[in-house]
A and B are shown apart, each in its own frame.
Chain A
C-alpha cells in the first residue's frame, strides 16, 4: 500500500534471484518428497508434472497482473469479481458460436481495461485508498453481475475450449501462454521506461513525482495491466469450465490468493521491490501444496487451516528479517 505502511524496512537477506530460487527449490522438493513418501511416483512423470503446471495457470495469470499493482504501491481487490464478469461476459456473448469468439474476447478485454482505468483514476485522481477503491469497484461489479445472471450463462464453442484443453505436443497452450506472459511482464518491468517508473513510484511516490514522473499515469497503467490479466484469467476459466458463472472468481478467492502469492514471491507489499518470477514461484508453491495435500489425502477443511498457516509462514520468512515497524 502506501510507503507509510512500512517505515525503514531494509531486508537484510539477499534479494533478487534468491527468493524465487529458494521458493522454486522448496516447492519442487515438497512435491517430489510427498510423491515418493506416498509412493505415487507416477505423479513425477510427464502427465503429473503437466497437471501441476496446469494448476498454476488461472492463479498465475492474475497474480502476474497483481504484481504490477503491488510494485506500484497499490493493491487490487477487484480481480476476483472482474474474473467472474469476464468469464460470464465471454460465454454469454459467444453462446456457443465460433464466429462470436473474437468479438467476445474484444469486449472482455475492453471492459477489463476500463475497470483498470476506473480503479486507477479513483486511486490517483480522487485519492481514494486503493484498498477501499478496488474493494468498492469489486462490490459494484459483483452486484451488477449477480443481478443480471444467477447461473451459468451461455457457453463457449469447441474451438474456444482449446485455450484450456489444447496443447503443443505435451505442453498445453495455457501453460506455454503463462510463461510467455511472465517473460513479457519481466521484460516490461526490467527494460522499459514504464517498468522503471513503476519501481520508482512504488518505492517513493512523492520522490518520483518530484523527479517529474507522472505518477497518476503510472498507477493507472499498473491497474490496467492488472485488470487485463484478470480479464485473461476469466477467459481461461470460461474455456476450462465451458461456460461462465457469476461466482467462479469469488470461489477461487483470486483476490486474496493473488496478493498472497505476490508477497510470498518476495515483492514488498509497500511497493517498489520484487518481480514476476518470484510471483510465479509463489504460484508454484501453492500448486505444489495443493498437489501434495491431494496425494496425502488431506481433506478439504484441514487443508484450509494449513493453507492459512502456510500463507503466514511463507511471508514471515522474509519479513521477520526486516527492521522497523510494519502495520
Chain B
C-alpha cells in the first residue's frame, strides 16, 4: 500500500520535474542531434564550440529582448541598433586599433540613449511599444545610413573584431575556446541574475502581468519600462560588437534580427503581452533557431525556404504554447 503510494508520488514528482524542463531545451537537443547526424563534426567539441560562437549574438539579443517582452512590450529597434553599432564602429575607429575602446564606449552610450528614448516614449508618451520602437527602427537605420553615406567603407580593427572572432587554441579537452562564449556566458549570467534574482526582475514580471496592479502596489512602472528598454538596447550593442567580428561591415547586418530575437523568445516559451518567460527559455530558443538554420543549410534548402521553415516553426511553437496553457487552464 505505502509502497504503491511512494511509487505514485515518485512518478508524479518525475512528471513534475519533466514538465519544468523548458520544452525549447528538448527541441534544441533534438535539432542539434539531427544536425550532428548529418554532419558528425558538430558532435565533436570544436564543432560545438563553433556552433555556440555563431549562436552567441542571437542568444544575447534574445536575452535583452526577453526583458521587454516579459514587461509586456516589444522592442523592434534592436536589429537596426546592431547595424548602427557595426557601421558606427567602423566609422569611429577609422581603421585605428587604438580607438577601439573609446569607440565601444561611445557605441554603448548611443545604445543607452536609444533605449532611453524607446522607454521614455512608451512610459511617458503612452505610445504602444510596437509603434514607438518601429519609429526608432526607421530613425536608427536612417542614422546608420547617414553616418556612412549609404555605403560603409573600411573595416573594423582586429581588437574590435576579437569579441566575435578570437579563439583560444590548444585548450585541453575542448581544443578550441572562442572568446564569444565568454561574452555569451557573462551576458546570460547577468541577465539571469537581473530577471530572476533581483527586485527589479520581480517588478518586470509584475508590470508585464498587470501594469495597473503593479502601479497600485507601488511599482514605479515608468522606471521599469525605461530599464527594460535600456537593457534590450545594451544587449543589441553587445550583439553588434560581436557580429562586427563575424563578417564585414555592411548596412544589412542587423536586418530582421529583431524578429529573430522575438522568435527565439517565443520558441522558448516567453509569453507575448508579458508576465511569463525565463532566461533559460530565451537562450534555448536562440540555440534552437540557430540549430534549425544549420539543419536547413545541411539539408541543402535554398535560403528563401529557410524563411518558410522559420515561419512554420514560429507558428507551431506559439500554437503549442497556447494549447498547453489552455489545457492547464
Contact = CB atoms under 8 A, between A and B. Distances in A.
Interface of A: 1-2, 4-9, 75, 122, 126-129, 131-133, 135-140, 142-147, 256, 259-260, 263, 269-270, 300-312, 315-316, 319-320, 322, 324-327
B318 A143 contact: no
Interface of B: 71-74, 121-122, 124-132, 134-143, 145-146, 150, 207-208, 210-212, 215, 221, 259, 262-263, 266, 272-274, 302-312, 314-315, 318-319, 322-323, 326
6 contacts: A128-B319, A129-B322, A132-B314, A135-B311, A140-B307, A311-B135
A285 B124 CA distance: 24
A129 B314 CA distance: 11
Contact of B272 (A131, A136, A309): A131
Nearest to A5: B273
A132 B211 contact: no
A292 B221 CA distance: 39
A interface: dominant SS: helix
A283 B266 CA distance: 32
A126 B319 contact: yes
Contact of B308 (A135, A139, A303, A325): A139
Contacts, number: 189
A7 B128 CA distance: 12
Contacts of A2: 273
A4 B209 CA distance: 9
B135 A325 contact: no
A231 B92 CA distance: 45
Contacts of B274: 327
B315 A327 contact: no
B140 A308 contact: yes
A122 B312 CA distance: 12
A9 B212 CA distance: 11
Contact of A327 (B122, B146, B326): B122
B136 A140 contact: no
B306 A143 contact: yes
A320 B125 contact: yes
> Considering residues A75, A139, A140, A260, which has the most beta carbons from chain B within 10 angstroms of its beta carbon?
A139
A312 B77 CA distance: 13
B304 A143 contact: yes
A319 B126 contact: yes
Q: Which of A132, A145, A322, A327 has the largest count of B CB atoms less than 10 A from its CB?
A: A327
Contacts of B322: 126-129
